[in-house]
């Protein structure tokens, strides 16, 4: 797979995942989960305390490979070694980014995503230090808002994302929003 064909597929609403044997495949879904970039985004009260303590600093791509590894390091993962190599290639080409939280010199957590124009497509997130990925989520939404991003695609719903106000839309509505996001020239860095 070359970078151009990968980005074209993401721009059409597909995403890459490895199956249980590690074979890569393109997937789509009849529903997508979005993180709101407007007033619907919710910061849980318990998290506000952590944010107010300023225990974490944020960085972009300070250690992209470590974020990929952190996201893949779980019992069941869709991030195979081959997919990790693709993420590294996309990072070098300026399409994949890690949005990280740090506590001193320790990587606390991070979010791995693909950026295409006005769309941030979240691939995965992880934490090493409690609250690390949650603070990354709040700071990433602030970052995307400042840069006028249109779409934060989280792909699949889970209780963790629901705490932030994530919501599900049908694929036909997602396609409309994705096309709109691709008309904007937003810069992640």
Which distant-in-sequence residues (6+ apart) come within 8 Å of 148 by Cβ? 118, 184, 186
Structure tokens at 130: 């409690």
Tell which residue, 115, 109, 123, 13, has the closest CA to residue 62.
109
For the stretch 123-144, pLDDT in tens is 999 999 999 999 999 999 999 9
pLDDT at 172: 96
Structure tokens at 32: 């997508």
Q: Per-domain residue ranges for the chain?
A: 3-181
Report how far residue 53's alpha carbon sits from residue 175's, in angstroms, rounded to the nearest whole number: 39
Query: Which percentage of the chain shows pLDDT scores above 90?
Result: 85
pLDDT at 20: 86
Pick the CATH number of 3-181 from 3.40.225.10, 3.20.20.10, 3.30.70.100, 3.40.630.70: 3.40.630.70
Cβ-contact 171, 31 below 8 angstroms: yes
pLDDT at 74: 86
Q: Are strands 57-60 and 96-103 parallel, antiparallel or unpaired?
A: antiparallel
Segment 109-127 shows an average pLDDT of 97
Segment 111-115 shows an average pLDDT of 98
Report how far residue 99's alpha carbon sits from residue 49's, in angstroms, rounded to the nearest whole number: 21
Kindly report the average pLDDT of the chain as a whole number: 95
Segment 113-132 shows an average pLDDT of 96
In this prediction the pTM is 0.95
Q: In what order do the strands lie in the sheet with 57-60?
A: 57-60, 96-103, 106-116, 119-127, 151-155, 31-34, 167-170
- Residue 141's SS3 state is helix
Place of tokens 């249980």: 20
* Own/partner pairs, 73-81, CB within 8 angstroms, 24+ separation: 73/126, 74/126, 77/18, 78/17, 78/18, 78/19, 79/18, 79/123, 79/124, 80/18, 80/22, 80/24, 81/22
Please give the radius of gyration of the chain, using alpha carbons only, rounded to the nearest integer: 16
Using the predicted structure, report yes or no on whether residue 120 has a pLDDT greater than 90. Answer: yes
For the stretch 54-111, pLDDT in tens is 999 999 999 999 999 999 998 888 899 999 999 999 999 999 999 999 999 999 999 9
pLDDT at 9: 97
pLDDT at 152: 98
């Amino acid at each position: 797979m070359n970078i151009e064909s990968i980005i074209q597929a993401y721009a059409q609403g597909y995403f890459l995942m490895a199956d249980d044997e590690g074979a890569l495949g393109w997937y789509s879904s009849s529903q997508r989960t979005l993180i709101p970039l407007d007033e619907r985004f919710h910061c849980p009260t318990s998290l506000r305390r952590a944010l107010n303590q300023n225990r974490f600093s944020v960085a972009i791509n300070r250690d992209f490979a470590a974020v990929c590894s952190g996201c893949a390091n779980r019992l069941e993962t869709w991030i195979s070694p081959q997919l990790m190599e693709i993420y590294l290639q996309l990072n070098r080409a300026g399409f994949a980014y890690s949005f990280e939280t740090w506590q001193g010199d320790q990587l606390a957590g991070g979010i791995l995503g693909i950026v295409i124009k006005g769309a941030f497509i979240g691939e995965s997130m992880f934490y090493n230090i409690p609250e690390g990925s949650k603070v990354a989520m709040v700071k990433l939404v602030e970052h995307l808002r400042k840069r006028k991003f249109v779409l934060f695609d989280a792909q699949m719903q889970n209780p963790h994302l629901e705490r932030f106000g994530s919501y599900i839309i049908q694929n036909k509505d997602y396609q409309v929003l994705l096309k709109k996001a691709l008309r904007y020239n937003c810069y992640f860095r």
